[in-house]
């Protein structure tokens, strides 16, 4: 949403968009908030959603909506502090308030002064207010020996009813058991845990640097054995050749042999001790790193709480019978990755429900059960997290997909006819691509699978699709278990080591010189019935090629968005676990490189950005690489006007601020929360940042703190614009480093614009 052009929308239309988004969050959360094991984060998200709706309604002057949203917020605050224990009898009232907000947002007469909304709001507010007077029931006393409550069963959603299935059996080693008494739980900040993961990974890598010392001692022992053998041979020779008068030489040689043997014994003893120490140390560091990684893990079930209702609601909307099976819901997922999984999984489920699963009559006619099945399965495999989503629907019509690609001018018909099924399926991930002729609420806009691919690649993973027409479609997400240490393939390019994340490698193979063919100046080789373009890695990375690769040549095959290339490298050095170290931000974006690491011997190694590398290969082949002069010209064009970043989770406020600033000639970018804003700041060049305070993931104060602690960006002025008008709130924002603190009432006069101009001047 942050990148969409919403400048043509009125404030009421923006409010409707925000109400649609926030009420869906509220609806899903209210059904879960009555659970006794609900997390504080859930209640916090409900409070934030109600608060955002209240502020948006205030901007457009919808007083009935303001009052209802405020009453909902009070209920969630009471639930958060424990004065209101939400039960089934409360959920109906909360949903009534949410439905009211949805209805008034969609109503044409919402702003009519004599409309019915005021009276309806009074009734809803009265009912919500009465909830706050309901005393929280006393918690039941549980005997000390009572077993821990079991995790919620997997829910299988079927239109009209739901069936509970027992969870899959999960074996957890004793070292990984996390069922601890409540009084032993401690709070650790996410940032602290992230740093701890980094230190554990660094410890693991540093410990493995003991291995070269062991190897050197082994080499020393071999040299000593050779020396002992030489001295023994010399002693035999001296003894045999002794014919003259008595000589001290034999005694000297014998003493030399004895000393060599003593030295060899000492080397063996120290080598055994050191090798044992290195082995124990590496094992200890490995277990430490594993335990720290486990502490960052959350069960996949934490990110799937809204999935059963989503499947149920969409299946009802589409008039289909669908059952959902979740397997491996207790599989551990890094919290950073889990937070990003909701959107891609939602897109894939919508895709399966709308495109894959057939109506009951069609399924019965095809000899299938009336109810379709969607299976979501997670597991750890080969050091990676694998998530598989499959459905037993109609599959993908490959020929229709091939024709659609030709119709969209994405590929020539002659080329399309030669593409394999796997290559045709890659078109599904292109932005704006859809096989549907009509746009519906669920699909047809061409938005979805490209979002899935972008998210997966953003964390260093891959996504693949396979289909059997008339039977099933399978999407496989391959993700790193953690983002602090990666499993990588080490290769030699021009005499220097480079690392390719294993998740981004299609295959490794050897290609003989005789197998290479040249067509129109480009080189190819055939593999598994397809052609793979061949390029020299040293040329793409612009490094000295070093020694020429032998025959056959080692080739690393990579792909991205349907493009596939084979990189010729000098040598394959093997797999490594590498601690990921970000590059110095002063370097900016280094072409084709994502990060760095250290090898066991302390040598640095660069980790390749495969997506960027594929683009570089394509640019070289197509002759589209920009010169330095052209880059400078583009950069100058982007700096012609003052550039401002607006950070706010409310779409209404965000667009109001953008329109106000753009009307005065400023260039404006937007971000949907503090984390999104921080990423934008690090990747852009801004003259001013305008931010809200209450936002998910990272609030405005946290954003200001990060900005002002960054020596490269602390000069950027910041304006906080918030509904919070208390003096302590204002001081908190200013203490963090904000240059100005305004309330959102400043939109109604010139205060906001005057403040911006005071800080950065008039736009150029």
pLDDT top residue among 567 and 439: 567
Q: How is domain 300-458 classified at the architecture level of CATH?
A: 2-Layer Sandwich (3.30)
CA within 13 Å, CB half, 580: 22
If you average pLDDT over each of 126-140, 220-234, 455-469, 491-505, which comes out highest?
A: 491-505
Domain boundaries, the chain: 11-132, 206-296, 300-458, 485-622, 635-760
pLDDT top residue among 363 and 35: 363
Distance CA 96, CA 667 (A): 41
Q: Return the CATH superfamily for domain 11-132.
A: HPT domain (1.20.120.160)
Tokens (6 digits) for 110:
């919402």
| Integer CA distances (angstroms), 258 to 115, 221, 263, 485, 730, in order | 108, 16, 9, 49, 83
Q: Return the CATH superfamily for domain 485-622.
A: CheA-289, Domain 4 (2.40.50.180)
Between the two ends of the chain, the Cα-to-Cα distance in Å is 28
pLDDT one-digit tens code per residue, 160-171: 333 333 333 333
Give mean pLDDT, residues 594-614.
82
pLDDT top residue among 2 and 761: 761
pLDDT top residue among 368 and 32: 368
Average pLDDT, the chain: 76
Give mean pLDDT, residues 475-504.
84
Tokens (6 digits) for 669:
């970018």
pLDDT at 383: 66
Identify the sign of the CA torsion 52, 56, 59, 65.
negative
Q: Under DSSP, is residue 37 helix (H, G, I), strand (E, B) or coil?
A: coil
Residues 6+ away with beta carbon under 8 Å from 550: none
CATH classification code of 635-760: 3.40.50.2300
- β-sheet bridge partners, residue 381: 384
Is there a contact between 267 and 221 (Cβ–Cβ < 8 Å)? yes
Distance CA 540, CA 569 (A): 11
Distance CA 418, CA 541 (A): 31
pLDDT at 167: 33
Distance CA 490, CA 553 (A): 16
Residues 6+ away with beta carbon under 8 Å from 92: none
pLDDT at 265: 81
| Integer CA distances (angstroms), 372 to 4, 292, 376, 390, 394, in order | 35, 40, 13, 11, 10
Tokens (6 digits) for 520:
């129109």
pLDDT at 128: 86
Lowest-confidence range among 523-527, 635-639, 651-655, 760-764? Answer: 635-639
Q: To which residue do tokens 């003894």 refer?
A: 239
- Number of helices (H), then strands (E), belonging to the chain: the values are 24, 25
Distance CA 689, CA 703 (A): 10
Is there a contact between 566 and 534 (Cβ–Cβ < 8 Å)? yes
Distance CA 736, CA 759 (A): 17
- β-sheet bridge partners, residue 163: 156
Among 511, 491, 509, smallest CA distance to 551 is for: 511
Domains 300-458 and 635-760 share a fold: no
Torsion of CA 416, 421, 422, 423, to 10 degrees: 0
Backbone angles phi, psi at 589, to 5 degrees: -85, 110
Distance CA 430, CA 617 (A): 19
pLDDT at 434: 63
Torsion of CA 315, 316, 322, 325, to 10 degrees: 80
pLDDT one-digit tens code per residue, 693-746: 888 878 899 899 989 888 888 889 999 998 887 888 888 888 888 999 988 777
Is there a contact between 408 and 424 (Cβ–Cβ < 8 Å)? no
pLDDT at 146: 36
Is there a contact between 611 and 463 (Cβ–Cβ < 8 Å)? no
Residue 292 has pLDDT above 80, yes or no: no
pLDDT at 242: 55
Distance CA 343, CA 341 (A): 6
Lowest-confidence range among 102-106, 539-543, 586-590? Answer: 586-590
Q: Under DSSP, is residue 349 helix (H, G, I), strand (E, B) or coil?
A: helix
Run of H or E including 98: helix 88-106
pTM: 0.46
């Amino acid at each position: 949403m942050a990148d969409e052009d919403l400048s043509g929308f009125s404030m009421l239309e923006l409010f409707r968009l925000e109400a649609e988004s926030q009420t869906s969050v509220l609806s899903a959360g209210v059904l879960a908030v009555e659970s006794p094991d609900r997390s504080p984060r859930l209640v916090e998200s409900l409070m934030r959603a109600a608060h955002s709706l209240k502020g948006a309604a205030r901007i457009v002057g919808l007083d009935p909506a303001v009052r209802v949203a405020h009453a909902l917020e009070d209920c969630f605050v009471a639930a958060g502090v424990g004065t209101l224990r939400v039960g089934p009898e409360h959920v109906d009232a909360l949903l009534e308030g949410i439905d009211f907000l949805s209805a008034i947002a969609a109503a044409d007469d919402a702003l009519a002064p004599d409309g019915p909304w005021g009276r309806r709001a009074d009734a809803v507010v009265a009912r919500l207010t009465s909830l706050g007077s309901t005393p929280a029931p006393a918690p039941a006393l549980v005997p000390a020996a009572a077993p821990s409550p079991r995790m919620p069963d997997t829910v299988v959603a079927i239109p009209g009813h739901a069936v509970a299935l027992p969870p899959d059996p999960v074996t957890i080693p004793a070292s990984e058991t996390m069922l601890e008494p409540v009084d032993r739980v401690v709070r650790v900040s996410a940032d602290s845990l992230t740093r701890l993961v980094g230190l554990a990974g660094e410890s693991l890598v540093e410990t493995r640097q003991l291995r070269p010392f062991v190897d050197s001692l082994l080499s020393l022992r071999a040299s000593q054995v050779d020396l002992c053998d030489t001295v023994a041979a010399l002693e035999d020779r001296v003894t045999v050749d002794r014919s003259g008068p008595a000589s001290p030489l034999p005694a000297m040689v014998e003493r030399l042999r004895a000393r060599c043997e003593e030295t060899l014994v000492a080397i063996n003893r120290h080598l055994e001790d050191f090798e044992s120490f290195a082995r124990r140390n590496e094992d200890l560091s490995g277990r430490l790193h594993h335990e720290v990684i486990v502490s960052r893990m959350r069960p996949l079930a934490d990110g799937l709480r809204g999935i059963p209702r989503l499947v149920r609601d969409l299946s009802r909307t589409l008039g289909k019978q669908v059952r959902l099976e979740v397997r491996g819901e207790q599989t551990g997922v890094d919290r950073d990755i889990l937070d990003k999984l909701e959107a891609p999984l939602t897109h894939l489920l919508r895709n399966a429900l709308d495109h894959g699963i057939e109506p009951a009559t069609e399924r019965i006619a095809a000899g299938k059960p009336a109810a379709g099945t969607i299976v979501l399965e997670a597991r750890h495999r080969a050091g990676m997290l694998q998530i598989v989503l499959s459905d037993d629907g109609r599959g993908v019509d490959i020929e229709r997909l091939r024709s659609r690609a030709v119709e969209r001018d994405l590929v020539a018909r002659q080329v399309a006819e030669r593409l394999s099924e796997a290559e045709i399926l890659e078109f599904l991930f292109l932005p704006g691509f859809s096989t549907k002729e009509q746009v519906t609420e669920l699909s047809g806009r061409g938005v979805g699978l490209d979002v899935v691919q972008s998210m997966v690649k953003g964390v260093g993973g891959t996504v693949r699709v396979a289909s059997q027409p008339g039977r099933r479609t399978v999407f496989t997400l391959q993700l790193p278990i953690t983002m602090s240490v990666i499993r990588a393939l080490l290769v030699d390019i021009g005499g220097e080591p480079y690392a390719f994340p294993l998740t981004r490698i299609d295959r490794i193979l050897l290609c003989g010189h005789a197998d290479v063919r040249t067509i129109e100046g480009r080189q190819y080789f055939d593999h598994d019935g397809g052609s793979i373009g061949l390029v020299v890695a040293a040329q793409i990375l612009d490094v000295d090629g070093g020694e020429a690769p032998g025959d056959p040549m080692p080739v690393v095959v990579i792909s991205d968005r349907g493009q596939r290339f084979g990189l010729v490298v000098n040598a394959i050095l093997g797999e490594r676990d590498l601690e990921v170290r970000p590059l110095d931000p002063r370097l900016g974006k280094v072409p084709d490189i994502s990060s760095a690491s250290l090898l066991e011997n302390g040598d640095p190694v660069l980790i390749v950005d495969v997506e960027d590398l594929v683009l570089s290969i394509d640019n070289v082949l197509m002759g589209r690489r920009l010169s330095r002069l052209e880059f400078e010209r583009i950069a100058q064009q982007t700096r012609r006007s003052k550039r401002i970043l607006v950070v706010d989770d409310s779409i209404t406020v965000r667009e109001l601020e953008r329109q106000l600033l753009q009307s005065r000639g400023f260039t404006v970018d937007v971000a949907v929360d503090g984390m999104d804003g921080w990423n934008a700041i690090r990747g852009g060049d801004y003259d001013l940042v305008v931010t809200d305070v209450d936002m998910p993931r990272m609030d405005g104060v946290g954003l200001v703190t990060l900005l002002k602690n960054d020596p490269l960006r602390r000069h950027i002025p910041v304006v906080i614009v918030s509904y919070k008008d208390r003096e302590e709130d204002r001081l908190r924002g200013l203490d963090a480093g904000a240059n100005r603190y305004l309330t959102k009432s400043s939109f109604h006069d010139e205060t906001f614009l005057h403040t911006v101009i005071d800080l950065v001047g008039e736009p150029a």
